[in-house]
Chains A and B, each alone.
Chain A
């Protein structure tokens, strides 16, 4: 840990310590707040009985599956729209009409059509993930160096090979940035679906802890979700740097 990152921790730790002292001094009685020490104990307890691990598995499964499906669909459409300008113009109204629909607004329909469980959550997460990937990959494809496309034409590469050998590798760093953006969205949407409807995963854990009048456990889940989100982002940044090196910087405007 560098001196700078240690310094950055001072303020949040001081706030937590102050909150702990205040909670103890005032004998805090709340169904929504708990002293940090109790939150830590609740987190250990949830690890000990494996409940938080099972919930993490459920949430991450839906997150990654939804992210995968959303990325594949978004990437395919983004590349197609990027290559074929006519298709892009034809679909623009449709895309712009569907894209603003909040994924969570689909919950009532999704519940009746798909029921509780992974399927419903994955569909909602995938819907949310399609758009950033679609928009960014379309922009990435359109900004490919024209000379590369000329090379493809000179080599008379068939369309599939043109996509596979030229377009995707050239646009990949920016596509990965879109993937990183979608990964954050996927986790947020998955937890929100669980809080709102789906009786599994970390979001459902928060709701159950709240209804059981266990604010310490509820906040422990919240802290854990934050840690997962942070870890996911770090993992993706490391992967981005390792896979693309300096090329990653070209797309990292997000």
Chain B
């Protein structure tokens, strides 16, 4: 076989066509490999992490962090903070542990299950708590053709929850138990918020556990009616979402956490009192239309978080067999 000379030379010297073809193949291989090597080299680019990344789902619960960024409150306290949108709340603990985000906004149920599962997370500041305003916005919305007069009417129904064992589902099960209804008699399925209206309309489920603005939108579209305002009846003031970090990061960044807490306390005042500023920041982060954000009652921002505030959640989740171990509330919240 002839060695591979440049193609022009081989043509000029009338080198056998088969050999030329073989050499052509070799050149193609070299080109393809060169392109692959360049691509691989590019993947090695390191992405430095100088900022504190705060990961939250696209809801208004982390409004205090959103406002603190937009109003320059974090900067004023000497912190460089950026928000990272997280698709599903239950991914937040893993994201914290991988250091993709340093602080996350898990729901109480997600946080407690993660700690129960052995992840060393610690709550560092409060975000939102249940209050009469947001409790009133939580409802079990029932499709047309189904009548719910009392809690036991939910027995045998197919009920869509935005996340099984998540906030609204756990609250609803607690409400059923308090009303003497066996939760096992209800058929729960997962239905995400944006698909609720279509699934209720098609009759895919009999009811959905939802909140504003979905309740108003579905009511206005004539898809059904509110079957129960179960959160109001529970009348709790426990945390919905709070800021959490890994214990290791928290121990190493005590000064940054103090600044974070101060900034969140300052911006919580704005969230609770200046609807315009809060709505603008929420719309900016969640990408929801501003009119929609303004039409939704905001969750109450509560920057202080005490260990005993997690006690009710632990009790409720334990009774629903969601926790395996006995959690010590004093270790769950950073002092």
Contact = CB atoms under 8 A, between A and B. Distances in A.
Interface of A: 29-33, 61, 64-65, 67-69, 71-72, 108, 111-119, 122, 151, 155, 164-166, 168-170, 172, 195-197, 199, 204, 207-215, 243-244
B43 A32 contact: no
Contact of A168 (B25, B39, B47): B25
Interface stretch (B80-88, B170-178, B301-309): B80-88
Contact of A165 (B26, B39, B95, B98): B26
Contact of B221 (A29, A64, A118): A29
B180 interface: no
Given A212-B288, A213-B194, A116 B95 contact: yes
A30 B100 CA distance: 34
Interface of B: 1, 4, 22, 25-26, 28-29, 35-36, 39-40, 42-43, 45, 47, 55, 57-58, 84-88, 91, 94-95, 97-101, 192-198, 217, 221, 286-289, 292
Contacts of A166: 22
B42 A65 contact: yes
A214 B43 contact: no
Contacts of B94: 108, 111-112
A29 B219 CA distance: 12
Top 6 A-B pairs, shortest CB-CB distance: A169-B25, A115-B98, A116-B100, A115-B100, A68-B39, A212-B287
A207 B98 contact: no
B227 to A, nearest CB: 20
Nearest to B45: A118
Contacts of A212: 58, 286-289
Contacts of A61: 42
A211 B40 contact: no
B85 A204 contact: yes
B58 A72 contact: no
Contacts of A116: 84, 95, 98, 100-101
Contacts of A209: 287
B193 A69 contact: no
Nearest to B35: A68
A112 B98 CA distance: 5
B58 A211 contact: yes
A69 B43 contact: yes
B198 A33 contact: yes
B198 A204 contact: no
B98 A32 contact: no
Contacts of B194: 31-32, 210-211, 213, 215
Given A31-B193, A65-B40, A69-B40, 19 more contacts: A29-B197, A29-B217, A31-B194, A31-B198, A65-B39, A65-B43, A67-B39, A111-B94, A111-B100, A112-B94, A168-B25, A197-B88, A199-B85, A211-B87, A211-B288, A212-B286, A213-B288, A214-B287, A214-B289
Contact of B91 (A29, A111, A170, A214): A111
B42 A169 contact: no
Given A65-B40, A68-B40, A114-B98, A165 B87 contact: no
A210 B86 CA distance: 13
Contacts of B87: 195-197, 199, 204, 207, 211
Contacts of B196: 31
A196 B101 CA distance: 17
Nearest to B91: A197
A222 B196 CA distance: 20
B287 A168 contact: no
A65 to B, nearest CB: 4
12 contacts: A31-B195, A65-B39, A112-B94, A116-B95, A116-B101, A168-B25, A197-B87, A209-B287, A210-B192, A212-B289, A213-B288, A213-B292
Contacts of A29: 197, 217, 221
Nearest to B40: A68
Most chain B CB within a 10 A radius of its CB, from A117, A164, A207, A244: A207
A122 B39 CA distance: 11
Contact of A115 (B95, B193, B197): B95
A95 B26 CA distance: 29
Nearest to B29: A168
A208 B43 contact: no
B61 to A, nearest CB: 13
Given A65-B40, A111-B95, A211-B58, A32 B25 contact: no
A195 B99 CA distance: 20
Contacts of B100: 111, 115-117
Contacts of B287: 208-209, 211-212, 214
A182 to B, nearest CB: 12
